[in-house]
Amino acid sequence: MQSTCEIRTRTISNNKALVIDVAGYFNVNCLNEFRQAFESQEHFPRYAVNLEQCQGIDSAGLGMLLILRDFAQLEQNNLLIIHCPPEVHDVLHYAKFDQLFTILS
């Protein structure tokens, strides 16, 4: 698996949602870039993490999602994980992240 990660952000819905695109392997190598993606911006009423180009996730990636959740302080329906590949979806399901985030494959 690839050890590099690329993070991009964009706003949607008239700047009411921040989408964080994760490409590559979601691990500790993208910690600073991932945190900066949302901490350097104003608070949004909805956050989405797009994992369409994510090749895998480890415990550090899971931890980063929890950091986002703590930062946003929003309910599950306003914290989305979208376009989740099957292998990443399995990890999120086993870790019970479907109880913390709305996960859309």
Q: How many helices (H) and strands (E) does the chain have?
A: 3, 5
Strand 5-12 relative to strand 17-26, pairing: antiparallel
What residues make up the domain containing 38?
5-104
The residues, ordered by sequence, that sit 6+ positions from 21 with a Cβ below 8 Å of its Cβ are: 7, 8, 9, 10, 50, 52, 53
For position 105, what pLDDT does the model report? 80
2 pLDDT exceeds 60?
no
For position 13, what pLDDT does the model report? 85
**What is the tally of structural domains in the chain?**
1
For position 1, what pLDDT does the model report? 46
Dump pLDDT digits (tens) for 6-43: 999 999 988 899 999 999 999 999 999 999 999 998 89
45 pLDDT exceeds 90?
yes
The CATH code of the domain that includes 68 is: 3.30.750.24
pLDDT above 70: percentage of residues in the chain = 97
The mean pLDDT of 61-68, rounded to a whole number, is 96
